[in-house]
Amino acid sequence: MPVLSGIRRAVCTLFVLVLTCAGLASASSATLLLEEPYGKLGFFTATGHAAVYLSGVCAATPLVLRPCEPGEQGIVISRYDGVGGYDWVAIPLIPYLYAVEQAEDVPLLADPKMVNFLRDQYRRKHLEGVAPDRDTGESPGGNWYELVGTAYDRTTYGFEIETTRAQDEAFIREYNAAPNRSHFHLVSRNCADFAKDVINFYYPRSLHRSLIADVGITTPKQMAKTLIKFSGRHSKLQFSRFVIPQVPGSAARSTPVHGVIESFLKSKKYIVPSAVASPVFAGCVAAVYVGTGAGRFDPARQALVFNTGRALEAPLGAEDRRSYQSELNHLELNVDPVEKWRRLLRNATPELDSEGRPAMRIRVGEEAVSVGVAGSNIFAHDAPERFTAQLLQARLRAELRRGSPPKASESDVTRDWNLLQEAMNGADVEAAAGAQRPQQAGSAARLEHAGNQP
């Protein structure tokens, strides 16, 4: 079995390397981002949000585009209602996803206080022209917060297609020259309409709405479906699918994205009253759903996992997940680390440390200690190691949760497991003794390749 597992990992590694090399051969790419619904808006409509990530286009300001310099990662360009009266705003990739400027500063675990703090810090530094302070000096209202830290709120799926430098330059000229004033309309000029226009600029008539499945409304899910079909007809263009997992934390998890008819049919608050009032109407809705195949599209199918290093990796395998889960269960001694961390943060205050990295100030008896919460500073403070161990246990618990979409890649979990072992070795807690027990056969096989990244 260890030999077979090693062969599977070797084949998987080769597959990912081939995909990575193929991606590097392309000068740039355009990625349709399909973002799951969340919160109160997700309760009423499950269509989610759409944006476009352009790897070869960067931003001189959030409203002025320019070509990227070597080493830059590009921007996410999107349309939101109520953001300074502008039709679109461009945000660098890492801030758009995580509200920090450096990938290594992404919090390993986030709560709403930390998320709001990081968003406002980024706004004050980079988005004052789009979302200025109120006269009182407080943060403004509106939807500006949607521009940064989206991965704290929801899971995102990426559908990436190869582009060229010439296409990027033409796009920059066109969008810099055109008026950037909002005419947002939920039915005819929504976020998915904007994403459709951007992708169609690169590949005309590649994306289109569905007059039947979405009753003529452009939806993010329909844009993803049509882009996949377009890539199938143009197999010479490099194409990849990936998932950007929602950051573990205390925020509610986002929910699956649907089209219009699918959302109506799968929502009891809509379909049940309709079926009572008019069974014929409800039957027609079900017939459209079945006939159009609206429910058969799974954005997580065959998806790799995105990490902050701009790499795409295979998801953690089921066998390895069970092995990690077994060891984590032993270390936790039947204590829920997520609930422990939530209790610890109730009276905590988010802050930036001396290097500008996210941290939490937590009360310990009569004193307050600063606890680093990012990979770059998790061991850079004088906080008790048990706090760090609790944070990492909670993160691993979230990463190892079953179900679709994938929660993490093998290298993500390996890194976090190694950080937990370091924290446990330095923590004066009873659970540290459990880390020294004899390893199971599956665990030994896993530890042999712990340093190998897909």
Q: Alpha-carbon distance 219 to 257, whole Å?
A: 10
| H helix intervals, 302-409 | 318-332, 337-345, 385-399
* Per-residue confidence band for 267, with pLDDT thresholds at 50, 70 and 90: low
Phi, psi of 177 (to 5 degrees): -85, -30
Look at residue 375 and tell me whether its pLDDT is greater than 80.
yes
The b-or-e profile of 340-360 (16+ CB within 10 A means b, else e) is bbeebbeebebebbeeebbbb
Q: Quick: pLDDT tens for 271-317.
A: 556 555 666 555 665 666 656 666 678 999 999 999 887 789 999 99
Q: How many CB atoms lie within 10 A of CB 139?
A: 17
For 398, the token pair is: 């979230």
Cβ atoms of 138 and 130 within 8 Å: the answer is: no
Q: Alpha-carbon distance 454 to 409, whole Å?
A: 8
Cβ atoms of 378 and 388 within 8 Å: the answer is: yes
Domain ranges of the chain: 16-258+297-307, 260-293, 315-448
Q: Alpha-carbon distance 39 to 155, whole Å?
A: 13
**Which of these, 371, 440, 424, lies nearest to 109 by C-alpha position?**
371
* Average pLDDT value for the chain: 83
pTM: 0.84
Look at residue 432 and tell me whether its pLDDT is greater than 70.
no
Q: Is 370 helix (H, G, I), strand (E, B) or coil?
A: strand
- Which residue type, as a one-letter code, is found at position 304? L
Strand order in the sheet with 49-54: 89-92, 75-78, 49-54, 28-35, 156-163, 239-244, 304-307, 311-313
**Which of these, 149, 210, 157, lies nearest to 48 by C-alpha position?**
157
* Per-residue confidence band for 101, with pLDDT thresholds at 50, 70 and 90: very high
Look at residue 264 and tell me whether its pLDDT is greater than 50.
yes
Mean pLDDT of 60-79: 96
Q: Which has more pLDDT, 266 or 420?
A: 420
- Tokens 């585009």 belong to 65
- Tokens 């066998």 belong to 319
Mean pLDDT of 47-73: 96
